[in-house]
Amino acid sequence: MDWNLILACAHHLAVFTLVAVFAAEFALLRPGLSGERLGQLAKLDAVYGVIAVVVIAVGVVRVWFGGIDPMYYLTNHAFWGKMAAFLIMGLLTIQPTIAIRRWVKAGGGAADYVVPANEIGTSRRFIHMQAGVLLLIPLFAAAMARGYGS
């Protein structure tokens, strides 16, 4: 059984799922957010966190058991650039996640609760920054896959 292939496929599927959930959050987080859409956003945000953990877990397993010497990754600057970008993305998710939880609590399930537009704007700025950092991850991955950074 080719564990390297299985882990690579699992990692890529997890990353693509993460990007899809991120895109859905990006689309939902806009002025006029209220009621059912707010609940959907809160669920998506929770899924986003779970998928991020899956990406990390599969990535760690891939580094240590994927069939490539772990030192290739651990000494590769492109790998560490990719890890730094992922960490920055994670840090940038904190503000929107806290805001979403606060909005859900403030709304108390009321269909007529509308999130204040200025708060949406603040969280969207964090989402836009995440999108910018996200663009770096496949660039670092492509460089690493071609032997750059070591």
| Domain that includes residue 62, residue range | 3-145
Quick one: pLDDT band at residue 1, thresholds 50, 70, 90? confident
Strand partners, 114: 34
- Identify the CATH number of the domain in which residue 60 sits: 1.20.120
Phi and psi at residue 65, to the nearest 5°? -130, 15
Domain count of the fold of the chain = 1
Q: Is residue 150 part of a domain?
A: no
Q: Is residue 18 part of a domain?
A: yes
Q: Is residue 55 part of a domain?
A: yes
| Torsion, Cα of 55, 134, 139, 79 (10° steps) | -50
For 22-74, the pLDDT digits (tens) are 999 999 999 999 888 999 999 999 999 999 999 999 999 999 998 889 999 99
Instruction: Mark out the alpha helices in the chain (DSSP H runs).
Output: 3-28, 35-65, 70-74, 77-92, 94-107, 117-134, 136-145
Q: Is residue 131 part of a domain?
A: yes
Residues in the chain: 150
Q: Is residue 82 part of a domain?
A: yes
Quick one: pLDDT band at residue 112, thresholds 50, 70, 90? confident
